[in-house]
Amino acid sequence: MRRVKVRISEEATSKKRDKVVIEEAEDTRKLQLALLRKIRQHATAPVDKYGCEQLGRLSNTEKGFRFYVLVALLLSSQTRDEIVGAAVSRLHHIGLSPASIQGLDENVLADLIKPVGFYKKKAIYLRRICEILIEKYEGDIPNNYHDLCALPGIGPKMAYLAMAHAWNNPVGIGVDVHVHRIANRLKWVDTLHKSTDHTRMELENIIPKRFWPEINPLLVGFGQEICRPTKPLCHLCDLQALCPSAFAKGNKKV
């Protein structure tokens, strides 16, 4: 009987210890997020000017805004934000809509979005997307994650960001290399040698849903300006006191 009581007592102590560790991690994460917001308050990173939501505002209609967001996300793969912004601007000047894109020759469209990464393939994807939007969605974009992922060239990260920014309905966190790298440097997750999808699932388990939409632009901008893939500017970072990886020799490109 005594052994059973001792075992129960040890289990209770272990659970209590685990709870304290989790609560301390949550408190640290809240402080880190607050500092990240402060660091990013001036919004001077490329993503702040050429992110999908900002480019969406080139349109003056709600449906147009959603379409611009989707186009910007499609073009963003393997491409710097500044180049995406220039490409969307060129499309905007010729009248960016599903109908106008559908009427363009693929070679003309490819020249308009060049030098976006894989511009020839993306021109094919974009024309096909416009055909689908006209045929199935009355020229609008799908309002759910699965139908967005079914569009040519639209991957999970793009679909999550489209749901958050085009439809104001966050159903997941958009994780790219910046989010993947910084979440691991801050020790929010331990997925450095796993996929970005592993990072997404773990982040969604520890970050309240109301914060999901801000995670991508917050960390992407931070990664573009300070927490770079190689030689991060730890000496300029206000987060250094709360960052487990500050000044680490192992800060290498991910």
CATH at residue 57: 1.10.340.30
Structural domain contains residue 81 = yes
> What is the radius of gyration, based on Cα positions, of the chain?
22
Residue 11, Cβ neighbours under 10 Å: how many?
10
Distance in angstroms (rounded) separating the CA atoms of residues 4 and 78:
59
Structural domain contains residue 99 = yes
Give the residues of the chain that fall short of pLDDT 50: 15, 17-21, 253-254
Return the pLDDT at 222: 98
Structural domain contains residue 66 = yes
Domain extent, residue 59, equals 47-165
Using an 8 Å Cβ cutoff, are 72 and 84 in contact?
A: yes
Tell me how many domains the chain contains: 1
Structural domain contains residue 123 = yes
Structural domain contains residue 200 = no
Structural domain contains residue 184 = no
Asked if 157 is an active-site residue, the reply is yes
Structural domain contains residue 61 = yes
Give this prediction's pTM. 0.88
Q: 49-72: per-residue pLDDT in tens?
A: 999 999 999 999 999 999 999 999
Return the pLDDT at 25: 75
Which one is catalytic: 38, 49, 121, 157? 157
Structural domain contains residue 2 = no
